Amino acid sequence: MDGNIAIPCVIYAAKSTEDKRGSIPDQLRECREAIEPDPHRRFVAEYVDEAASAFSSNRGPGLDEAMQHAEDLAHQYGAGELWAQHSDRLARGDGRLARHAVEIGLWALKHDVRVRTVQDPDTFRDLLYAVVTGQRNYEDSRRKSLSVAAGLRRSVERGRHIGVPPDGYRVAVRVDARGVVTRDSSSMPRASR
């Protein structure tokens, strides 16, 4: 690539669940803030996936489009970068059910794309780092999944309703004189509207 031409950069952001608290805009902003002051780089496009897990499956079409765009830029300009806030935004799978970070590293190597992450910049420095960090991302996600499942199980065992009440029912909450809270959703039909 000509030293006078700024490297074109594609940004990707993702959230495994619905983004109720604005994580995706923050991820995009953090990447832009890393790219824009650098005279050797230029922001080209951004892609997102919302409610698309990287643990139980591959991220959604936003990541596929971002990767393809970075490939095209690398082919056209001799260099291209794919940016994300953290490597776990790109992949956190075991390599069987969902993409492992090393797969992103191999893809980048094959297509002359450089993957850059703001919060863990060494991850895609070489394939060994991608393997190790990818394993860490997977184990962190697996642990969170187990913790959430255990918490839901404990709530059910305590008799607490989990999720949306069935159609025609509502959750009734009562507090007795001692301050003990009870909930019941099995026999309280909703009031008519």
pLDDT digits over 123-133, tens only?
A: 999 999 998 88
Residues 81 and 115 in one domain: yes
For residue 147, the domain's CATH number is 3.40.50.1390
The Cβ-side half-sphere exposure at 74, using a 13 Å CA radius, reads 19
Residues 99 and 48 in one domain: yes
Residues 148 and 60 in one domain: yes
Q: What is the pLDDT of residue 91?
A: 93
pTM higher than 0.85: no
Residues 17 and 88 in one domain: yes
Asked if residue 158 is part of any domain, the answer here is no
Asked if residue 77 is part of any domain, the answer here is yes
Residues 135 and 167 in one domain: no
DSSP state, 111?
T
Q: What is the pLDDT of residue 6?
A: 95
Range of the domain at 38: 7-153
pLDDT tens, residue by residue, 16-56: 999 999 999 999 999 999 999 999 999 999 999 999 988 88
Confidence of residue 187 (pLDDT cuts 50, 70, 90): very low
Residues 137 and 174 in one domain: no
Asked if residue 2 is part of any domain, the answer here is no
Asked if residue 1 is part of any domain, the answer here is no
Query: Per-residue pLDDT for 171 more than 90?
Result: no
Residues 128 and 62 in one domain: yes
Do 127 and 109 contact (CB within 8 A), yes or no?
yes
Residues 64 and 114 in one domain: yes
Residues 140 and 75 in one domain: yes
Domain total of the chain: 2
Helices 127-157 and 101-110: crossing angle, nearest 10°? 150
pLDDT tens, residue by residue, 66-115: 999 999 999 999 999 999 999 999 999 899 989 999 999 999 999 999 99
Residues 32 and 119 in one domain: yes
DSSP state, 5?
S
Query: Residue 165 CB: number of other CB atoms within 10 A?
Result: 14
Asked if residue 68 is part of any domain, the answer here is yes
Q: What is the pLDDT of residue 154?
A: 76
- φ, ψ dihedrals at 189, nearest 5°: -65, 145
Sheet of strand 80-84: strand arrangement: 41-50, 7-15, 80-84, 113-117
Residues 144 and 171 in one domain: no
